[in-house]
Amino acid sequence: MAFMKRNLNGSRRHPMAAILVIAAGLAVSGGGYAAATAAVESTKPVTAAADAAQVDLGHKLFLANCASCHGKNGEGSANAPSLIGVGAAAAEFQVDTGRMPGQASGPQLMVKPVQFTGEEIDAIAAYVGSLGPGPAIPTDAQIAANGNATRGGELFRINCAMCHNAVGAGGALTQGKYAPALTHTKADHIYEAMLTGPQNMPVFNDANLTPTDKKDIITYLTYVQNNPSAGGYELGNLGPVVEGLFIWIFVLGLIITITIWLGAKSN
């Protein structure tokens, strides 16, 4: 026991050792925290500044091209609805398809050449999105055509085919309106249309069609776009009315012509 006491007494630290250890710990932890904070703060202002600059650019473009109808702050007017709360997805869909800015009033906005660059479209969408909470622009993962095409076809026929046709060929509606063909529509525009319900289309939020459902529908439409009809010329995929009209005019007409020709030849 005496040996152990002497050994312990002999190995006792200097009174200043504890202070030095505490000081070193404070210096390391404080320095690490300061370095980490500086790194985070060095990136945050840049992102915020970039977002602010994008929204500011979008606001300028909005004032120059959209405010005459939608109001200086997107509050709407007698000629156009309010954009507060519609979300960036709605603005991106309308502008990136050329529907907006609208050129003339009518039953439905027409698709026309896009009037803005990609950077300008993103800026306008960012500004409209800043006016109030609303659907955001879908991510690449959400619009990737890697879902279940068979299930997507079933969902499309249940929810969309009554207007857009079973294979997205489009169709006429009432009062001069129509459901556009989806044969060349981009995946992000399909997703945005389901989210925002532009013009005559109903809104399919995530309670109606989940993100997985939307992905499956996009997968189905992408398959239809990339695979032509295996049965030959499909007459625009417009359904039995067009097929019946074709048979009535051309096939039946050909049969009548052959019958007359054979009768004339026998005489």
The answer to whether residue 245 sits within a structural domain is no
> pLDDT band at 5, cuts 50/70/90?
very low
- pLDDT greater than 50 at residue 40: no
The answer to whether residue 111 sits within a structural domain is yes
Please check whether residues 169 and 228 belong to one and the same domain: yes
Mean pLDDT of the chain: 83
Given this model, what pLDDT does residue 27 score? 66
Given this model, what pLDDT does residue 84 score? 94
- pLDDT greater than 50 at residue 227: yes
Please check whether residues 122 and 211 belong to one and the same domain: no
Please check whether residues 226 and 144 belong to one and the same domain: yes
The answer to whether residue 229 sits within a structural domain is yes
- pLDDT greater than 50 at residue 241: yes
Please check whether residues 103 and 161 belong to one and the same domain: no
Decide: pTM greater than 0.85: no
Token pair in block for residue 81: 């609805």
Please check whether residues 165 and 126 belong to one and the same domain: no
Which positions ≥6 away from 50 have C-beta within 8 Å?
none
Please check whether residues 129 and 194 belong to one and the same domain: no
Please check whether residues 103 and 170 belong to one and the same domain: no
The answer to whether residue 1 sits within a structural domain is no
Please check whether residues 132 and 142 belong to one and the same domain: no
Please check whether residues 208 and 167 belong to one and the same domain: yes
As beta bridge partners, residue 171 has 179
The answer to whether residue 20 sits within a structural domain is no
Given this model, what pLDDT does residue 44 score? 38
Mean pLDDT, range 92-103, rounded to an integer: 92
Given this model, what pLDDT does residue 63 score? 95
The 3-state secondary structure of the chain reads: CHHHHHHHHHCCCCHHHHHHHHHHHHHHHHHHHHHHHHHHHHHHHHHHHHHHHHHHHHHHHHHHHCHHHHCCCCCCCCCCCCCCCCHHHHHHHHHHCCCCCCCCCCCCCCCCCCCCCHHHHHHHHHHHHHCCCCCCCCCHHHHCCCCCHHHHHHHHHHHCHHHHCCCCCCEECCCCCEECCCCCCCHHHHHHHHHHCCCCCCCCCCCCCCHHHHHHHHHHHHHHHHCCCCCCCCHHHCCHHHHHHHHHHHHHHHHHHHHHHHHHHHC
Please check whether residues 86 and 162 belong to one and the same domain: no
> pLDDT band at 96, cuts 50/70/90?
very high
Q: Is 91 left (phi over 0), alpha (psi -120 to 50) or beta?
A: alpha
Mean pLDDT, range 9-14, rounded to an integer: 55
Please check whether residues 159 and 227 belong to one and the same domain: yes
Q: What is the CATH number of the domain that holds 170?
A: 1.10.760
State which residues form the domain around 161. 138-236
Nearest by Cα to 227 from 140, 145, 143: 145
141-190 confidence digits (pLDDT tens): 999 999 999 999 999 999 999 999 888 989 888 888 899 999 999 999 99
- pLDDT greater than 70 at residue 88: yes
> Between the CA atoms of 140, 142, 145 and 149, what dihedral angle is there, to the nearest 10 degrees?
180
The answer to whether residue 160 sits within a structural domain is yes
Residue-wise over 79-98: b if at least 16 C-beta within 10 A, else e?
A: ebeebbebbbbbbbbbbbbb
User: Which range has the worst mean pLDDT, 63-72, 77-86, 104-113, 137-146?
Assistant: 104-113
Q: What is the CATH number of the domain that holds 83?
A: 1.10.760.10
Considering its fold, how many domains does the chain have in total?
Answer: 2
